Chains A and B, each alone.
Chain A
Amino acid sequence: MSAVATPEPHVERTAEAPLLELADVGRDFDVSKPWLNRVLEGAPRLLLRAVDGVSFSVRRGETLALVGESGCGKSTVARLIVGLYAPSRGSIAFEGVDLSTPGSRSAVPQIRRRMQMIFQDPYASLNPRWRVGRIIAEPIRVNRLLADEPSVRARVGELLRQVGLTPDDAEKFPHEFSGGQRQRISIARALSSNPEFLVCDEPTSALDVSVQAQILNLMKDLQQRLGLTYLFISHNLAVVAHISDRVGVMYLGRLVELADAKTLFASPAHPYTRMLLDAVPDLAMSGAARTPVAGEVPNPLDPPKGCAFHPRCPFANARCEAERPTLARAASGTQVACHAIEEGRLPPAHR
């Protein structure tokens, strides 16, 4: 275990144990050529470190957001948590039960019921051949939560009403609905097994803004009414600022900053976070000069040595190029992985 896996001070403070805890989680993908090509061409095995050394915890009832650009590993983290991928390293614990070993999930079917996922693309996340009622009832039937058909049907109707649709919609097919309505159906399916924890992978990024507002409001209402805990994955900082209590910023598979939403948006610590915030188009048209950031996210197959952000960082020095910084607590209570901040050579940014 690396130094990152230090116990979370939050845990001590809130007395209550976190709902979900990730410790030093990593996931590699084998992107090598097929076996025959490797043998004939002598091509090496290629491992893509999609996620590496990620540790954080999610408290009951809060919304933790993970932000970052494409390829930063935020969606992989979401899929690791719900069990679509198995972690290559580290542990994922739900209420203290380790989920990371293969087979542990089927050993604890209760956990599967209590953790559900909302997907990005409302056109792909519903089986086009199934009626909406059957789609929403699937988790109920699989987990045998209700005994008889009439009560399943009643529950589906109740769920549809809860997300702003009508019970009659259960008889329709997904293609009869608009994108926003489909996302509501997707939420109803996720809620049908009475989960406490929802992993939301870019739930509004395929939607139009006016519909996005509807879905974000719905998610907030549901959180209040049902006491849900959200892990919210998004690339849209304005949406994240709007919905989250805490925010984790990821870059090339690693967490570079983890802070309260208010703190992060008011005074971002990590140079990458500052850059991201600077890049958000200014709707207020204040005319404030922006510093466009040079460069692009490097190839994750060949990440830079040391701090992965150093080639784009205006504050990088020799240490940044050689030594990888670890997540450490800074003065503001923010956890940040940056040598410049640790050495105090980075002025705090205030927005």
Chain B
Amino acid sequence: MALTPALSEKPRTAAESAAPLLEVRNLRVEFPTRRGTLVAVDGVSFSIARGEVLGVVGESGAGKSLTGMAVIGLLEPPGRIAAGEVRLEGERIDNLTPEAMRRIRGRRIGAIFQDPLTSLNPLYTIGQQITETILTHLPLTRREARERAIRWLAEVGIPAPENRIDHYPHQFSGGMRQRVVIALALCAEPRLVIADEPTTALDVSIQAQIITLLKRLASQHGTSVMLVTHDMGVIAETADRVAVMYAGRIAEIGPVRDVIHAPKHPYTIGLMSSIPKLGEGRERLAQIDGSMPRLTAIPPGCAFNPRCPRAFDRCRQQRPELVRVGATEAACWLYAEKP
């Protein structure tokens, strides 16, 4: 039903007619400060298909978390969406009232954050929190909701869920807590889950467990996932496609395998080769000199040009748009047709 207005704008081929679950177009997130406006996310466009896991990877300050927050409507003021649109199943959700957005959160978009402790209310048992979320979004009785909560706890791998449901968050270990958070995010069966660094606070062995769990649940329930992380390893294990962000923009986006094995954008190439890998010996790592520009001093043209080994004049003057290069898309003048 909500698909029609989006479709009426331009005719689509049969292959495209299944609108993506989430479509973000030219998203711009700004932070007005008294010394001018910081543009933290600048002209970001991507879409997530039904059942797809899209990884959003980038270094700190790349704007990856803010993109996720903008989608779910949890930008902290003074941050605001200054331009662009976010469509969920074809329906615009970036201009909804806070009340309408609240109804979408939980029911249609779930969220998993880095620190499980901040996502769980320490004053309520996990059962109360999950049941409450189910009751808010689904037409069930309290008894049914509780049964469903127990099923979810079992599904995320919590042993003896019928006893554990009445425990408080502090009675769980870090890994178990993150499982509870996943249950909480999925219990109203949303179409889309935004997972913001879901494994960063966890130890490697637990991290592997959580990744496996997230992957299994997403494919079992047909849930789409937007996985925001700084860890390429997590992306490689989990995502179908990946968007590499740099200084608030997407540098490269494409299928995970292609981006990891044959990156096109010089930033992605540098990033991939600077990651130490287990199989390698002790030789020098390839490094990208310098650091990501501050938001107050983003260079003109391509934001990566001061650090780019292959930059030329055009990179310093004109900002590149994403262009298709083989299987992926890269925002780089190296791949543009000559003007």
Contacts and interface: CB of A to CB of B under 8 A. Distances in A.
Direct A–B contact in complex, judged by CB atoms less than 8 Å apart: yes
Interface of A: 69-70, 178-181, 208-214, 216-217, 220, 235-239, 241-243, 261, 265, 275-285, 290, 292-294, 296-297
B274 A292 contact: no
Interface of B: 59-60, 173-176, 203-209, 211-212, 230-234, 236-237, 256-257, 260-261, 270-271, 274-280, 282, 284-289, 291-292
Given A209-B274, A209-B275, A296 B233 contact: no
Contact of B205 (A216, A241, A275): A275
Contacts of B286: 213
Contact of A209 (B174, B211, B257, B271): B271
Those 4 A-B pairs whose CB atoms lie nearest each other, nearest first: A281-B233, A213-B274, A208-B59, A69-B203
B288 A210 contact: yes
B201 to A, nearest CB: 9
Nearest to B275: A209
A243 B211 CA distance: 27
A292 B208 contact: yes
B205 A279 contact: yes
A237 B278 contact: yes
A202 to B, nearest CB: 13
Given A283-B232, A296-B173, A290 B276 contact: no
- Which among B233, B270, B289 has the highest number of chain A CB atoms within 10 Å? B233
A239 B276 contact: yes
Contacts, number: 119
Contacts of B60: 179, 208
Given A216-B285, A235-B203, A292-B212, A284 B291 contact: no
Contact of A296 (B175, B211, B291): B175
A266 B80 CA distance: 50
- Secondary structure at chain A's binding surface: helix, strand, loop or mixed? helix
A281 B233 CA distance: 5
Nearest to B285: A213
A178 B288 CA distance: 15
Contacts of A212: 274, 276
A294 B236 CA distance: 22
Contact of A285 (B257, B276, B280): B257
A209 B59 contact: yes
A214 B287 contact: yes
A211 B278 contact: no
A242 B291 contact: no
Contacts of B279: 284
Nearest to B199: A281
A230 to B, nearest CB: 13
28 contacts: A69-B203, A69-B204, A179-B60, A180-B291, A209-B271, A210-B271, A210-B288, A213-B276, A213-B287, A217-B284, A217-B287, A237-B204, A242-B276, A261-B282, A281-B236, A282-B236, A283-B260, A283-B275, A283-B277, A285-B256, A285-B257, A285-B261, A293-B208, A293-B209, A296-B173, A296-B176, A296-B203, A297-B203
Contacts of B230: 208-209
A342 B279 CA distance: 28
Nearest to A206: B60
A210 B59 contact: yes
A115 B175 CA distance: 37
B278 A285 contact: no
A325 B292 CA distance: 48
B46 to A, nearest CB: 21
Given A214-B289, A220-B284, A296-B173, A209 B205 contact: no
A277 B59 CA distance: 25
Nearest to A240: B276
